[in-house]
């Protein structure tokens, strides 16, 4: 692939240009990327379900005989479990337990024993990561995801290693704006109120994804500085996965790489099976 310009810590274009490693030459496979993303999403899905005795805590039973008190034969009543109360009252003959009864059990309720995991081969997962990396360098795919970038910007965006030492969110936001990504940051600044029951379950808002910052050092200060900017994620190059590079299974996320991350990607031949 051709060389791309390198930007300084202050967001200005330098005279240096960087060679892209072979991971950026991989063909984009949306099907493989989607499979890897769905696999990682299902891996952290928490099983849920009702109590096994829910709706069954009742003394009601079905008395299937014509003899004795409490049977429903010949009375035009459905043959279902009913409360057997001899002293009379409003609850005599009240149906329980069955799904169609008030307070009865649920029909086909979710079971906590269900396994949601979807396994994926290691080579297929690595292919998905390489394919998602290659998609970040294609401006058509990046714009198709909805990202707003300057027309003269070349992808992928590479900054000097000094940017990894930025420790304040305000300085990191200034750098991204000088790189021409201010419009995209503004796009994700407005969050949407979720429709439905989710508002009552601790997830009232839906937020969009913006820039992914990929660094080389695990303890870089920029990892902490970027997490306070809405829509921006920061990760080291060794911890990439398909979901970070292609949120929602859609490839082409807007990414900013450090020079060290690009060098590490090339030298260590990351995400190749060997």
**Domains assigned to the chain:** 4-45+118-267 (3.40.1370.10), 49-115 (no CATH)
pLDDT of residue 89: 66
| CA distance readout (Å), 15 to 56, 154, 160, 234 | 74, 14, 12, 26
Say if CB 24 and CB 137 are below 8 A apart: yes
pLDDT in tens, 83-112: 877 776 667 788 999 999 998 999 999 999
pLDDT of residue 83: 86
pLDDT in tens, 24-45: 999 999 999 999 999 999 999 9
Q: How confident is the model at residue 68 (pLDDT cuts 50, 70, 90)?
A: confident
State the DSSP string of 47-103: P----TTTT--S--B----SSSTT--TTTT--SS-B---TT-STTTT-B-SSTTSTT
CA-to-CA distance for 30 and 120, rounded, in angstroms?
A: 15
CA-to-CA distance for 102 and 39, rounded, in angstroms?
A: 39
Quote the mean pLDDT of the chain.
91
Greater model confidence, 210 or 274: 210
State the DSSP string of 229-261: STT-EEEEGGG--HHHHSGGG-----EEEEHHH
């Amino acid at each position: 692939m051709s060389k791309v310009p390198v930007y300084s810590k202050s967001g200005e274009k330098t005279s240096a240009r960087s060679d892209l490693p072979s991971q950026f030459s991989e063909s984009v496979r949306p099907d493989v990327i989607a499979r890897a993303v769905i696999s990682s999403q299902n891996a952290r899905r928490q099983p849920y379900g009702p109590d096994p005795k829910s709706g069954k805590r009742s003394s009601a039973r079905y008395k299937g005989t014509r003899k004795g008190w409490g049977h429903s034969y010949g009375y035009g009543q459905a043959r279902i479990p009913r409360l057997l109360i001899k002293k009379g009252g409003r609850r005599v003959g009240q149906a329980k337990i069955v799904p169609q009864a008030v307070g009865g059990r649920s029909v086909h309720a979710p079971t906590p024993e269900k396994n949601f995991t979807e396994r994926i081969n290691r080579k297929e997962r690595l292919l998905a990561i390489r394919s998602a990396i290659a998609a970040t360098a294609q401006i058509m795919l990046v714009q198709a995801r909805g990202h707003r970038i300057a027309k003269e910007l070349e992808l992928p965006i590479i900054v000097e290693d000094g940017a990894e030492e930025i420790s304040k969110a305000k300085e990191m936001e200034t750098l991204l704006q000088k790189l021409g990504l201010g419009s995209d940051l503004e796009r994700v600044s407005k969050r949407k109120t979720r429709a439905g029951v989710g508002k009552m379950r601790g997830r009232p808002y839906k937020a969009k994804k913006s820039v992914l910052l990929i660094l080389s050092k695990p303890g870089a200060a920029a990892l902490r500085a970027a997490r306070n900017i809405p829509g921006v994620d920061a990760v080291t190059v060794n911890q990439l996965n398909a979901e970070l590079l292609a949120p929602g299974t859609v490839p082409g996320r807007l990414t900013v790489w450090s020079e060290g991350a690009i060098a590490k990607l090339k030298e260590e031949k990351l995400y190749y099976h060997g």
